[in-house]
């Protein structure tokens, strides 16, 4: 898979081990989707060079911050190298194109047409590197009447049908649910990660690079597996849902999908006779009496602490879990044992980052001790060793305000 020319020594940020060692990625993206994709690539050993404006990715300014360092930015960009360039200046543009000529992958997440206006579109990059995998991430894709629309995750959730698909499961009379967790961005970035790997594999087999077009709306629509088929089948009634069960001090999720699960639930409640009740004897009967069944379960759980309810449910073999907060997750014994939150560092010190949600040969990524790059921290070394620019030319660019270095 690696096809990088020029410097292949990597750095403390650009990994030299892992399945993607030797793959060089130019990350032109900001915000969440593109950086998430690029971070997953860096996690697996790719040398990811994040090219930022002289003022840096907007995410560097967002909380939570410690001593001026954004941990929001850090989570998405740990393990990369940072180069700061003014791409509107001819020498800044030329330096980037020199990096592109020596790269395997370019990731951009501008609105369609912006990259071309900057002279950085696929058609601009392909002549200097015909084996390049060029990944564009946008709200609505690169073609179509809506392609040029601005898009952020709440808009994507609305446009994809996701919010309205969730509406029937809210309290009657509720508006579409408010978005506070940006699923569209992270899901889209994950789709882009898989798409880039697919394109690299094709390049290994055919020798051809190519363009990857990732739509955040399409990514969110891929979640609506049942809903898109139900509407075509003329099904208008809502599927049964699994509301959280109240406890004395919280909530617990229980999912009953078959006879085995219902029998286990009856044992947990101390009411084994309900397993043979005509109202609940099979999935059809339970569906018909679903609200009554849920009320029976809630009446049982309401008198127990969350700890006790969860213990009884799990002991009986019921698929169940308490509703946990992000703070709960950081101290969870299972996640600690799985090493889900490795210690990484930025200029303000160490913090825990979410690992990649998969393991290859039990390797946790990012590796403990991985660093978040400061703005322009690697400008000089990358422009000299990767772009192949003379040291004097790089110094001139820095002095002229075309390239930025850490602390400038």
The catalytic residue positions are: 242
Residue 120 to residue 53: CA distance in whole angstroms: 14
Q: Which of 137, 47, 128, 115 is nearest to 83 (CA)?
A: 47
Residue 69: C-alpha distances to residues 134, 346, 371, 380 (Å): 30, 7, 12, 22
Decide the pairing of beta strands 320-322 and 343-346.
unpaired
Among candidate residues 11, 20, 17, 93, the one with its CA nearest the CA of residue 51? 93
Rounded CA separation 9/382 (Å) = 11
| C-beta of residue 220 within 8 angstroms of C-beta of residue 185 | no
Q: In a 10 Å sphere around its CB, with 0-12 CB exposed, 13-18 middle and 19+ buried, how is residue 374 labelled?
A: middle
How close are the terminal C-alpha atoms of the chain, in Å? 37
Q: Yes or no: say if 151 and 216 are a contact pair by the CB < 8 Å rule.
A: yes
Is the separation of the CB atoms in 326 and 270 below 8 Å?
Answer: no
Token pair, residue 333, equals 């014994």
Contact 60, 70 (CB under 8 A): yes
Q: Which helix (H) or strand (E) holds 12?
A: none
Helices vs strands, H then E, count in the chain? 18, 14
Triad 23, 39, 44: Cα angle to 5° = 50
- Residue 37: phi, psi to the nearest 5? -55, -50
For residue 214, which of 287, 109, 115, 317 has the smallest C-alpha distance?
109
Q: How far apart are CA 55 and CA 88, in angstroms?
A: 14
Q: Give Dmax (Cα) for the chain.
A: 85
Phi, psi of 358 (to 5 degrees): -150, 160
């Amino acid at each position: 898979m690696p096809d990088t020319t020029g410097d292949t020594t990597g750095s403390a940020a650009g990994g030299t081990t892992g399945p993607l060692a030797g793959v060089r990625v130019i990350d032109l993206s900001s915000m969440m989707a593109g950086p998430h994709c690029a971070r997953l690539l860096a996690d697996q050993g790719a040398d990811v060079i994040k090219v930022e404006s002289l003022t840096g990715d907007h995410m560097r300014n967002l909380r939570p911050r410690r001593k001026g360092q954004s941990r929001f930015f850090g989570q998405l960009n740990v393990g990369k190298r940072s180069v700061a360039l003014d791409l509107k200046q001819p020498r800044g543009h030329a330096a980037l194109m020199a990096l592109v000529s020596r790269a395997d992958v370019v990731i951009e997440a501008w609105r369609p047409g912006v990259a071309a206006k900057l002279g950085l579109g696929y058609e601009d990059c392909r002549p200097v590197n015909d084996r390049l995998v060029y990944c564009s991430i946008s709200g609505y894709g690169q073609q179509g009447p809506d392609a040029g629309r601005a898009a952020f995750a709440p808009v994507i959730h609305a446009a994809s049908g996701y919010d309205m698909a969730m509406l029937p499961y809210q309290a009657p009379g509720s508006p579409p649910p408010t978005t506070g967790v940006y699923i569209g961005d992270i899901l889209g970035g994950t789709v882009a990660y898989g798409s880039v790997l697919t394109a690299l594999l094709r390049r290994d087999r055919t020798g051809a690079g190519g363009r990857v077009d990732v739509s955040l709306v399409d990514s969110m629509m891929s979640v609506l597996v049942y809903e898109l088929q139900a509407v075509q089948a003329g099904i208008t009634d809502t599927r049964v849902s699994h509301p959280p069960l109240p406890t004395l001090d919280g909530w617990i999720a229980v999912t009953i999908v078959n006879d085995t699960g219902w029998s286990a639930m009856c044992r947990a409640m101390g009411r084994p006779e309900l397993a043979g009740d005509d109202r609940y004897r099979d999935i059809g009967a339970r569906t018909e009496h679903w609200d009554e069944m849920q009320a029976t379960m809630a009446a049982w759980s309401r008198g127990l602490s969350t700890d006790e309810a969860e213990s009884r449910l799990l002991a009986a073999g019921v698929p169940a879990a308490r509703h946990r907060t992000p703070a709960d997750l950081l101290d969870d014994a299972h996640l600690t044992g799985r090493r889900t939150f490795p210690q990484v560092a930025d200029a303000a010190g160490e913090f825990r980052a979410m690992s990649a949600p998969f393991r290859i040969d039990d390797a946790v990524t990012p590796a403990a001790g991985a660093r978040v790059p400061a703005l322009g921290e690697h400008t000089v070394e990358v422009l000299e060793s990767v772009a192949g620019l003379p040291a004097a030319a790089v110094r001139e660019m820095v002095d002229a305000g075309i390239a930025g270095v850490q602390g400038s």
